[in-house]
């Protein structure tokens, strides 16, 4: 199964390269190459070190009775990172709008609201975990 899926993936990559170079409207491949190189640099130079640093810092939180809390913090940060990864193209490289009905709202403000709601949900889950785990008299 793994070999078959790998072969399908390689075939699709070949089809993409072929259509880029010889498709119905052939394009200059250098913008794509620059974009891919930039994606690798941003991912390996910024996103991964930042993720590792935050993960290392969170893993150093005191674990005396707070193991569940550390898991909640890690989960909340992971969800927030995924939301940011999805919103990144629109937030940091918005293109010109040729249609006013496309993204008519303030995307950055709504992204901030979603992150705030996610953080509040993480705090709520953390408080619930603490409440359930506290010693009873």
Both 133 and 77 in one domain: the answer is yes
Number of domains in the chain: 2
Both 69 and 126 in one domain: the answer is yes
Give me the pLDDT at residue 26, please: 65
Both 41 and 83 in one domain: the answer is no
At 93-134, the pLDDT tens digits run 666 767 777 767 788 899 999 999 999 999 999 888 878 776
At 13-25, the pLDDT tens digits run 999 888 878 877 7
Give me the pLDDT at residue 64, please: 58
Work out the number of other CB atoms within 10 angstroms of the CB of residue 122.
19
Nearby residues of 29 by Cβ (< 8 Å), 6 or more positions away = 20, 21
Q: What's the CA dihedral at 14, 19, 21, 27 to 10 degrees?
A: -140
The runs of H, that is alpha helices, within 1-136 are 2-22, 30-42, 48-59, 67-92, 107-133
Both 69 and 31 in one domain: the answer is no
Give me the pLDDT at residue 73, please: 81
- pTM (predicted TM-score): 0.58
């Amino acid at each position: 199964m793994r070999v078959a899926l790998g072969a399908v993936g390689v075939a699709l990559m070949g089809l993409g390269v072929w259509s880029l170079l010889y498709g119905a409207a052939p394009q200059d491949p250098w913008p794509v190459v620059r974009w891919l190189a930039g994606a690798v640099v941003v991912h390996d130079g910024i996103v991964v070190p930042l993720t590792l640093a935050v993960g290392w810092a969170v893993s150093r939180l005191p674990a005396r009775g707070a193991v569940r809390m550390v898991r909640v913090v890690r989960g909340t940060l992971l969800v927030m990172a995924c939301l940011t990864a999805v919103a990144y193209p629109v937030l940091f490289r918005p293109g010109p709008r040729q249609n006013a009905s496309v993204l008519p709202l303030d995307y950055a403000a709504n992204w901030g609201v979603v992150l705030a709601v996610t953080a509040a949900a993480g705090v709520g889950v953390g408080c619930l975990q603490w409440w359930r785990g506290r010693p009873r008299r």
